[in-house]
Structure 1
Amino acid sequence: METRELRYFVAVAEELHFGRAAQRLAMAQPPLSRAIQQLERRLGVVLLHRGTRAIALTEAGSVLLREARTALDAVEAAEHRTRRAAADQPGVVLATKAGASRELLSKLLHAYAADPGAVPVEVMLCGPGQPESLLRNGRADAALLHRPYDTMAGFDTEDLHTEHQVAVLPAGHPLADRPHISIAEIYALTDLPLPRWPRHDGSYADGPGPQVRDHTQLFQLIALGLACAVVPESLRAQLRDDHAIVPVPDAPAVTTVIAWPPHSRSKAVADLVQTATRL
């Protein structure tokens, strides 16, 4: 299989629509359809159920989608890491969610900079889900991820910090004075829908909640009475007087981890990980 074919298939599998996939790939629909048919013939399997109005992935198609994403990430990672290895100035690229683990990140950068062998650290602040993608495609050397929201499969990791989660509501909401609230009660709120974060392919799931890309945007929407959210307790420091916090005892605990590719042989990454676990 060629990487071009895999990119074609991933686009169709994520869009589940040949027209939208062709538009996304900036190509005409007929050659895209022919390419997928050729891929099916070569593999000897049916990848897509083609209906009159919609298409759906077969079991084989679901497997290829998962494997193709991994393969394409690996190809892209090889390109990025090879180019960085040839750079005159050594350094480490660390990806993390903007606003998350702020205190831990500050301590980590300060402690690592004091190491005699420290190299410059470029911090990439991005939206939810993006640090994992940046680590997989080689744009980052290490990342601060958060279990259970990020996928750790394929990475080496060290747990750094575990914390409880809280509900963030507009100040003055009827539930704001409660000693605690359950996940079920939060999902049942019709006046305060939960936000919708971007998925792996950049699209959003259907639902009543607003589309958000970062916590700054989210907290503004909550203050306006347009949403609520369940977030790690450490984000409390970013909230204002027009927010209320209510503990959510049955929400899963969030663990911050530092992750890196298992095949990494970078001494700088090893030193950064060692500093993080020491903290």
Structure 2
Amino acid sequence: MDSRELAYFVAVAEERNFTRAAARLGIAQPPLSRAIRRLERRLGVQLLERTSRHIALTRAGEILLRAGREALTALERAEHLARRAGRAPRKLTVVTKPGGDAGLLEPVLSRFAAHPDAIDVEVTVCGIGQEKALLRDGAADVAFVRLPQADLGGLASEELLTERELVVLAPDHRLAGSASLRMADLAGETFPRWTADAPGSGPVITDTGQVAELIALGRMAAVLPESVARHLGRRLVAVPVHGRRTTVLAVWPEERRDRALAAFLRTAAEVAATSPPLDPPATEAPPR
């Protein structure tokens, strides 16, 4: 099976229509239909159930669609990586969402610049949840992300540091004077949703600049890493949440084996190990 006929099948399977699939591929419909029938004969299985009104996938077709998408994505990524490797000068692309590095990136870049294996570094600030996709398609070399992460397949990772989580409240909020809170104390509060498909009724956050504004207006509260919560400003109140921690990871494609990336990761681990706590005098006692 070559990549072209696999792409033909994926287009038909996704469109559930030969005419639309042919238009999407930029070819005529009869050659597309013949190509799919040849594929079925070669595999010895029926991939599509065809009627005069619609097309449906057989069980074999569903499996081939899932695996075919993964294979085509892998081919695209291999091409992108090969092209990128051939370009000069070499550089390391680091990606993080706003606040996703817990303040590590600036000292890491400063120390890495003096490393014997250092190369130029480009920093990309991405949207929420985009880091892993950028790593997998070759647009980034290393990312800072926070646990939990649902899918790290194909990626290697190393824990860098763990910090407290604080709930950020408007100054006049009923809980703003608390020394510490439990999540149960926040029952009934409106919290942001970081993706459109996340559960809950809170506002979907597309830009971290929205967070402080909505909290200040009394529209929601937010549980955030301490390094983020302490810098929201606007005279907002940040209260430790008992038992809540968040961990920052360095994540990179597991197949990568080069000295510059290894040096960057070692530098990040060294900086994280020597980073002072954000708020040394603070002690977290269980709320009463």
**Length-normalised TM-score, structure 1:** 0.73
Using a 3 Å threshold, how does the CA distance of structure 1 residues 63 and 274 change in structure 2: closer, same or farther? farther
Q: Tell me how far apart the structure 1 counterparts of residues 156 and 176 of structure 2 sit (CA, whole Å).
A: 40
Shift of 1:206: 6.3
Residue 173 (structure 1) aligned with residue 150 (structure 2) = no
Q: Which residue in the other structure is 2:261 paired with? A: 269
| 4+ long deviations beyond 6 Å | 9-12
Does the 8 Å contact 1:129/1:150 carry over to 2?
no
Using a 3 Å threshold, how does the CA distance of structure 1 residues 248 and 274 change in structure 2: closer, same or farther? same
Q: Which residue in the other structure is 1:196 paired with? A: 193
Residue deviations 1:10-49 (CA, integer Å, cap 9, x gap): 978xxxxx89xx8xx979xxx9xx99xx79x7796999xx
- Specify every segment of 5 or more residues in structure 1 that has no aligned partner in the other structure, as ranges: 13-17, 48-54
Shift of 1:62: 9.2
Residue deviations 1:134-170 (CA, integer Å, cap 9, x gap): 1111111111111114633321111110112111122
Q: Which residue in the other structure is 1:134 paired with? A: 134
Shift of 1:88: 1.7
Residue deviations 1:85-113 (CA, integer Å, cap 9, x gap): 11121101111112222521111101101
1:97-176 aligned at under 5 Å gives the runs 97-149=97-149, 151-176=151-176
Give the aligned CA root-mean-square deviation in angstroms. Answer: 3.9
Using a 3 Å threshold, how does the CA distance of structure 1 residues 276 and 185 change in structure 2: closer, same or farther? same
Q: Which residue in the other structure is 2:285 paired with? A: none
For 1:269, the aligned partner's letter is L
For 2:81, the aligned partner's letter is R
Does the 8 Å contact 2:170/2:236 carry over to 1?
yes
Bigger radius of gyration among the two: 2
Shift of 1:265: 2.2
Secondary structure at the counterpart of residue 248 of structure 1: strand
Secondary structure at the counterpart of residue 238 of structure 1: coil
Q: Which residue in the other structure is 2:249 paired with? A: 257
Shift of 1:173: 0.7
Q: Percent identity of the aligned residues?
A: 33
Aligned residues: 250
Using a 3 Å threshold, how does the CA distance of structure 1 residues 176 and 143 change in structure 2: closer, same or farther? same
Q: Which residue in the other structure is 1:75 paired with? A: 75
Q: Tell me how far apart the structure 1 counterparts of residues 228 and 13 of structure 2 sit (CA, whole Å).
A: 35
Does the 8 Å contact 1:181/1:249 carry over to 2?
yes
- Specify every segment of 5 or more residues in structure 2 that has no aligned partner in the other structure, as ranges: 49-55, 272-288
Using a 3 Å threshold, how does the CA distance of structure 1 residues 188 and 44 change in structure 2: closer, same or farther? farther
**Length-normalised TM-score, structure 2:** 0.71
Q: Which residue in the other structure is 1:51 paired with? A: none
Q: Tell me how far apart the structure 2 counterparts of residues 92 and 73 of structure 1 sit (CA, whole Å).
A: 22
Residue 4 (structure 1) aligned with residue 7 (structure 2) = yes
For 1:256, the aligned partner's letter is V
Q: 2:213 aligns with which of 213, 217, 220?
A: 220
Q: Which residue in the other structure is 1:211 paired with? A: 204
Q: Tell me how far apart the structure 1 counterparts of residues 234 and 253 of structure 2 sit (CA, whole Å).
A: 41
Q: Tell me how far apart the structure 1 counterparts of residues 219 and 63 of structure 2 sit (CA, whole Å).
A: 36
Residue 247 (structure 1) aligned with residue 240 (structure 2) = yes
Q: Tell me how far apart the structure 2 counterparts of residues 138 and 219 of structure 1 sit (CA, whole Å).
A: 33
Deviates more, 1:147-156 or 1:2-11: 2-11
Residue 231 (structure 1) aligned with residue 224 (structure 2) = yes
Does the 8 Å contact 2:99/2:227 carry over to 1?
no
Residue deviations 1:162-211 (CA, integer Å, cap 9, x gap): 1121111222111222233333443522xx3x21223xxxx544642112
Q: Tell me how far apart the structure 2 counterparts of residues 182 and 70 of structure 1 sit (CA, whole Å).
A: 42
Using a 3 Å threshold, how does the CA distance of structure 1 residues 5 and 243 change in structure 2: closer, same or farther? farther
Q: Which residue in the other structure is 1:52 paired with? A: none
